[in-house]
Each structure stands twice: as C-alpha cells, then as structure tokens.
Amino acid sequence: MLDLYKNIKQLREEKGLSQDELAKLTGYTSRSSIAKIEKGEVDLQQSKILAFAKALGTTPGKLMGLTEFDGIQPSTTLAAHFDGDEYTKSELDEIRQFAEFVKNKRKDSTV
C-alpha cells in the first residue's frame, strides 16, 4: 500500500497542486491531513482512494500502483457487426471464409 501514498504525492506535484488544494478537492479540511497521507501515516478508505483518483485524474488501480492487468493476461474479443445492407450476401460469405481461413492457418502452424 506504500505505493499509494508515494503516487498521491508524485501525482499531486506533477499536477502542480498544493497540499491545501488537494485537501479541498478530496474533502479534507487542511493540508496537514494530506501531509500525513503522503507519509503513509493514515490508512485511506476506499471512498477516499476514489476521491484522490478523481482529483488527480487517474484510476484507483493506477493510484495504488497496480499494473493495468495486475498479472492477468487480457482476453481478446474480435467481433464484426454489419447492418445487413452494407455488404452483399456474396461479400459476407467471403468475409466468413476469410475468417475461417485465418483460424485454420493458425491451427496448421501449431502442428
């Protein structure tokens, strides 16, 4: 959780915000609260992490130092949606055949 506090300070400085300004944006009454947070002396509730992320223009995950996928490989979904009148039936058949060709080519290369 230490990354969270370092990232708050770093992003605040990058954005040119004072501790007073960040305090106001996140619902605190004084800069001393922000100073304590940046030193890691205060545990933040989830709602406050969200407030800091919003004030600093980032996501809670990035603020906490998590990687984009946190070690999980993203799945890839590829889909095509057609209105039905932009391609002829023959062209749609050709698109389907090409997609099948690509899948089969992949299968052939793993053998």
Domain range annotation of the chain: 2-63, 78-111
Q: Going by C-beta distance under 8 Å and a sequence separation of 6 or more, which residues neighbour residue 40?
A: 1, 2, 5
Long-range pairs of 23-32 with CB within 8 A, sequence gap ≥ 24: 25/51, 25/55, 26/51, 26/52, 26/55, 27/51
Is the per-residue pLDDT at 19 higher than 80? yes
Average pLDDT, whole number, for the chain?
A: 82
CATH class of 2-63: mainly alpha
Instruction: State the average pLDDT over residues 62-68.
Output: 78
Average pLDDT over residues 32-41: 94
Band of residue 89 on the pLDDT scale cut at 50, 70, 90 = confident
15 in Cβ contact with 56 (< 8 Å): yes
Tokens 């002396």 identify what position? 41
Backbone angles phi, psi at 59, to 5 degrees: -105, 155
* Residue 85, pLDDT above cutoff 90: no
**Between the CA of residue 6 and those of 38, 63, 67, what are the distances in Å?**
6, 9, 15
Q: Which of 52, 68, 64 is nearest to 4 (CA)?
A: 64
Question: Tell me, what's the pLDDT at 9?
Answer: 95
Can you give the pLDDT at residue 56? 94
| Alpha-carbon gap, residue 26 to 34, rounded angstroms | 9
pTM attached to this predicted model: 0.59
Cα 24–chain centre separation: 25
